[in-house]
């Protein structure tokens, strides 16, 4: 049986000597699964994603990523683990001085790949997200929906095993939100694990998927 992509076991988090903001959080993301992470604003959805990315470390409990105990992951191993994950943020985080094409290709450039080896791949992905004609456009002239699709393409270009999307439809209209959701479900159909953090109940109702609910620092499952 395959190991979970992510596994939390009784994880707690506090800042300094303050109260725990997450406590006894336990869940798993299985290979090829599609899940929603929901809960009211301020419940800790983004914090939980940061724990998965290891940009935060838990105060207690165990986190395993791709079968490795997170507490033992550092240095080059941390970089390697993060490269197995793609992240889509609500605020896009595109670089203003780069074109759409260059923003999407950035993860590959960082790995020092030659452009000739990935140009066709980037253009194919831009076509897939509906931005093939916007490859040379700068972020300043893109609509909010185009920026979000560019951010999704950038998260996908390195073919991660896990996609983490933090409120990916928060800045777009309902019609575009449905289109973005179709991109995520198609990606999942191709084998990538997907976790979408959202408080949009109408969006979640469109997919028969497992829901994880954060409330008062604890995580509940609808399963």
State the average pLDDT over residues 214-221: 92
| Closest to 38 (Cα-Cα) out of 221, 171, 192, 162 | 221
Which backbone phi and psi does 147 adopt, to 5 degrees?
A: -60, -40
Nearest-angstrom CA–CA distance, 3 and 65: 9
pLDDT value at residue 1: 63
pTM of the model: 0.90
5 has pLDDT over 70: yes
For 39, the token pair is 């809960």
Nearest-angstrom CA–CA distance, 54 and 78: 8
User: Could you tell me what percent of the chain has a pLDDT over 90?
Assistant: 69
Higher pLDDT, 7 or 183: 7
120 has pLDDT over 70: yes
What's the distance, CA 185 to chain centroid? 13
DSSP character for 134?
G
User: Residue 171 — very low, low, confident or very high, per pLDDT cuts 50/70/90?
Assistant: confident
pLDDT value at residue 178: 86
User: Could you tell me what percent of the chain has a pLDDT over 70?
Assistant: 99
User: Residue 13 — very low, low, confident or very high, per pLDDT cuts 50/70/90?
Assistant: very high
Tell me the helix, strand and coil percentages in the chain, rounded to 5: 35, 25, 40
């Amino acid at each position: 049986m395959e190991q979970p992509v992510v596994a939390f076991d009784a994880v707690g988090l506090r800042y300094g000597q303050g109260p725990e903001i997450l406590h006894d959080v336990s869940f798993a993301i299985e290979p090829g699964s599609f899940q929603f992470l929901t809960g009211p604003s301020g419940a800790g959805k983004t914090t939980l994603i940061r724990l998965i990315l290891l940009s935060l470390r838990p105060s207690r409990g165990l986190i395993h990523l791709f079968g490795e105990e997170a507490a033992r992951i550092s240095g080059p191993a941390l970089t390697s683990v993060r490269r197995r994950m793609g992240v889509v943020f609500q605020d896009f985080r595109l670089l203003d001085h780069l074109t759409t094409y260059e923003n999407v290709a950035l993860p590959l450039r960082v790995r020092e790949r030659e452009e000739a080896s990935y140009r066709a791949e980037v253009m194919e992905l831009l076509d897939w997200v509906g931005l093939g004609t916007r490859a040379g456009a700068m972020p300043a002239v893109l609509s909010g929906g185009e920026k979000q699709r560019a951010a999704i393409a950038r998260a996908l270009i390195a073919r991660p095993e896990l996609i983490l999307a933090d409120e990916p439809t928060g800045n777009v209209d309902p019609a575009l939100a449905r289109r973005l959701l179709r991109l995520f479900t198609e990606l999942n159909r191709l084998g990538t694990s997907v976790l979408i953090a959202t408080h949009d109940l109408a969006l979640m109702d469109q997919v028969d998927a497992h829901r994880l609910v954060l409330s008062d620092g604890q995580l509940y499952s609808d399963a």
